Structure formats: C-alpha cells, structure tokens
C-alpha cells in the first residue's frame, strides 16, 4: 500500500518546487532504491535547510515525506495547520508524551507513508560534517513494523546555511550544488523477529550509520575518520559543549 498525497501537500509542492529548482543544482542518485509501500528513510544532518532538498528529492520520486519534527514547530498559527495538514509528526522531547511520536510514525508507516528520520538527533557537531553516532529510533521503527530502512546521504546544504555560525539568512546566489544519494534498503533480516534489546537496536543503528557514512564518502570522494564522533563523550567542534564551550 502506498499513501495518497493530500491536496494541501500538492499545493505546497507546486509552490516550492520552482523555487528550489532555481536556488539549487540537483546532484541526485539512487531514487530506484525507494520502496513502493511504507518505509523509513534515514539521512545525515548538516544544516537547518536539509529538509527542503530531502523533501524535494522524495517528492520528485512520487513520495510525500513525513518528518519527525520538534513539537514547537506545531504551535505558530498557520504553520501548525500546514504541519498537521501535511502529516508531519511532532516530537515531544523530555515529556510524558515522548513516545507519541513513535506511535504516530508507526501508524503512518502501516498506512504506506515515507517517514524521514535524522538518526543523529541533531545537526552534526563533527568538525568536517561527517555523521555522528546515531540514536535507535529509526532502527526501532523499521524492526517493529517490518518496513524497509533506507539510508540517505546529503551534501552541500551547509554552504547554503552553515550550522552553528550565528547566520540565519541562507546564501542562495549563486545556486549551490546539493547532492542527495540513496542506498538500497538495509539488510536487517537477521535481526527481525528478535526481541528489541539494546544490543539489537545498537547493531541495527551501527549498520545504518556505517551505510550513511559510506554514501557520503562516495559523494565527497574521501574517507571519513575511523572514529565516529560521539557527542556524549567527544568535545564538540561545532555548537556548544555541556560546559558552554565551543
């Protein structure tokens, strides 16, 4: 089963599509790996504008992306109606409703939707924009529902809006090349049907982050560091540490 794109979603797409075509140069590959029914797609995260080219890529391949987004984005009038009307999924971090987002994402997947997750949980703080260690949400969704888990890598959006720079206005001229590459669904057959222990979820998540990193290596034409940055233990090169230092 594959979900239908709503009329509101189609209207937003019609308005945004020509703008995105003008301000970015698309270097896209791997669309043939997108499944027909419900699936989880997981990408690295390097800029606050990542959602737009990722959504552009998916829409151009006939899918309506449903992002897990901070609940605060659902509060402003107008924005709230758009977020709800296009089926975006609020994440209530640090509250008693924290599990609601997983329940909503699970329901969407079973209805044939494409659910988008940034498994790092935030924009990377690695010095050279390589992926960090991942959280287990994407793997949990895929294993609980039996849906495919599809890796994706993005590159170039940090040149439109660099994270942690204090700049809030995107640089749109000249158009920046944005690369999006999708890989084949992750092989999780040996983990499906097992109890979702921390060890199983960590194994699935490690496979996912390794595949995302490999896709990004292909785009960039260089190797990632052997040590994957862990924001829990490593000193952030971008943003602030727990002590407030950059």
Has residue 47 been placed in a domain?
yes
Has residue 228 been placed in a domain?
no
Has residue 246 been placed in a domain?
no
Has residue 135 been placed in a domain?
yes
Strands 24-29 and 39-43: unpaired
In angstroms and rounded to an integer, the radius of gyration of the C-alpha atoms of the chain is 17
pLDDT of residue 68: 82
pLDDT of residue 241: 47
Q: Distance (Å, rounded) from C-alpha 135 to C-alpha 87? A: 23
pLDDT of residue 126: 95
Q: Distance (Å, rounded) from C-alpha 65 to C-alpha 87? A: 9
- pLDDT (tens place) for every residue of the chain, 246 residues total: 676 677 777 777 777 778 888 888 999 999 999 999 999 999 999 998 998 889 889 988 888 889 887 777 677 777 777 777 777 887 776 666 767 888 889 999 998 999 999 999 899 999 999 999 999 999 999 999 999 999 999 999 999 988 887 777 778 788 899 999 999 999 999 999 899 999 999 999 999 999 999 999 999 999 999 999 999 999 887 775 443 333
CATH number, domain at 30?
3.40.1130.10
Has residue 236 been placed in a domain?
no
Q: Distance (Å, rounded) from C-alpha 82 to C-alpha 69? A: 13
Number of separate domains in the chain: 1
pLDDT of residue 56: 86
pLDDT of residue 95: 65
pLDDT of residue 4: 67
Q: Distance (Å, rounded) from C-alpha 112 to C-alpha 120? A: 24
Residue 84 sits at the vertex; the CA angle it makes with 209 and 32, to the nearest 5 degrees, is: 40
pLDDT of residue 16: 77
pLDDT of residue 96: 64
Has residue 14 been placed in a domain?
yes
pLDDT of residue 242: 44
pLDDT of residue 72: 72
Has residue 234 been placed in a domain?
no
DSSP 101-133: HHHHHHHHHHTT-EEEE-TTSSS--STT---B-
Range(s) of the domain holding residue 157? 7-163+171-220
CB-CB contact of 68 with 115 (8 Å):
yes
Q: What is the pTM of this model?
A: 0.88
For 173, phi then psi, to 5°, come to -135, 130
Has residue 39 been placed in a domain?
yes
């Amino acid at each position: 089963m594959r979900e239908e794109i709503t009329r509101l979603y189609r209207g937003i797409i019609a308005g945004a599509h020509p703008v995105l075509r003008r301000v970015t140069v698309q270097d896209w590959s791997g669309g043939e790996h997108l499944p027909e029914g419900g699936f989880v797609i997981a990408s690295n995260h390097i800029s606050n504008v990542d959602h737009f080219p990722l959504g552009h890529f998916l829409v151009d391949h006939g899918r309506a992306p449903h992002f897990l987004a901070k609940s605060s984005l659902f509060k402003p009038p107008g924005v709230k109606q758009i977020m709800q009307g296009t089926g975006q999924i609020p994440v209530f971090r640090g509250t008693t409703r924290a599990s609601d987002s997983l329940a909503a994402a699970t329901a969407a997947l079973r209805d044939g939707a494409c659910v988008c997750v940034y498994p790092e949980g935030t924009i990377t703080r690695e010095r050279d924009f390589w992926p960090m260690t991942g959280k287990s949400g994407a793997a949990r969704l895929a294993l609980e529902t039996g849906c495919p888990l599809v890796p994706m890598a993005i590159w170039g959006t940090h040149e439109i809006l660099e994270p942690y720079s204090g700049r809030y206005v995107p640089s749109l001229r000249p158009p920046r090349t944005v690369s999006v590459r999708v890989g084949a669904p992750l092989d999780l057959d040996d983990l499906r049907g097992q109890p979702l222990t921390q060890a199983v979820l960590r194994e699935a998540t490690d496979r996912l982050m390794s595949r995302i990193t490999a896709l990004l290596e292909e785009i960039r034409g260089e190797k990632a560091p052997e040590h994957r940055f862990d924001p829990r233990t490593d000193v952030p090169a971008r943003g602030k540490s727990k002590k407030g230092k950059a």
